A and B are shown apart, each in its own frame.
Chain A
């Protein structure tokens, strides 16, 4: 119920990404683009990552952030966007999953 009418600039992933960019850092932005079942974060949620693996925001409430950060560093290097899929069905393909039983699709792209 904590709906602030103004952006929480210190915690807003897109504001942080812009700040990192201004500081000359390489940045990747991950976005939840699709969810099935009970996904912990809604479509449109962001995780932003820098080349050192620092991150802000969340795409799953903690379940798959580690894997997204690893992929994001790849994306920063290559400049090529990736579509990642996580969920119970992918447990063999991915070392991580969503314990709640949902599935999510996360788009990871480089900023700039």
Chain B
């Protein structure tokens, strides 16, 4: 292994950024590919797939055998609001492989009695996120219903390109929220990334069922990362074809 490749890989891993070490098993040469780097051909397609799934493996391309070792950051879930939904969501997400942290400045809500064995911050999101910035391998669910607590975190999640951004509240509540986020400087494209009302539409009624809907939606967002862009590109291509015909 090239010492420079190892150093680069560790820098990326420490910074919670995805990278793939590509090794030519024929001659032992290797290099680091970061998420978003353009790699052409069959090898490029295999690399894109490995970023998607996080699975490592060998691939035959251009008459050679490459080993792709995919290093994806551990995805995690940041929940704004130590509410009833969060009490169900936190253990479920943990079991599904998404470590959870909960932020709520209301000390009556954020107690370890209500959230045993969960990383809990009885602080404002502004303070927590300054210490522990969000990133594209973080999902954020804002469930307090209180704009004073939710809004800053939502804007921060959009700016950090979190792979999932969900916000609790009816369509009417969300319409008002959109106004406030636009005033905070969010763009229309960013606003469109917010899942609101939060959760997959499974008719969830109880807080625990809403938690299932939120977790499922976050997993769906994680496993389809980057696919929306490709899908919409394909769609516009097919529209163009039709137009030409």
Contact = CB atoms under 8 A, between A and B. Distances in A.
Secondary structure at the B interface, as helix, strand, loop or mixed, is mixed
B28 interface: yes
A21 to B, nearest CB: 6
Contacts, number: 60
Interface string A1-21: 101111100000011011001
Nearest to B30: A109
Contacts of A15: 10
Contacts of B176: none
- Chain B contact-residue range equals 20 to 34
Interface residues of A, number: 25
B10 A18 contact: yes
Interface in B1-42: 1-3, 6-7, 9-10, 13-14, 16, 23, 25, 28
Contact of B14 (A1, A7, A43): A7
B183 interface: no
Given A43-B55, A107-B25, A109-B28, A31 B69 contact: yes
Nearest to B98: A3
Contacts of A3: 74, 97-99
B28 A81 contact: yes
Contacts of B69: 31, 44
Interface of B: 1-3, 6-7, 9-10, 13-14, 16, 23, 25, 28, 55-58, 67, 69-70, 73-74, 76, 94-95, 97-99
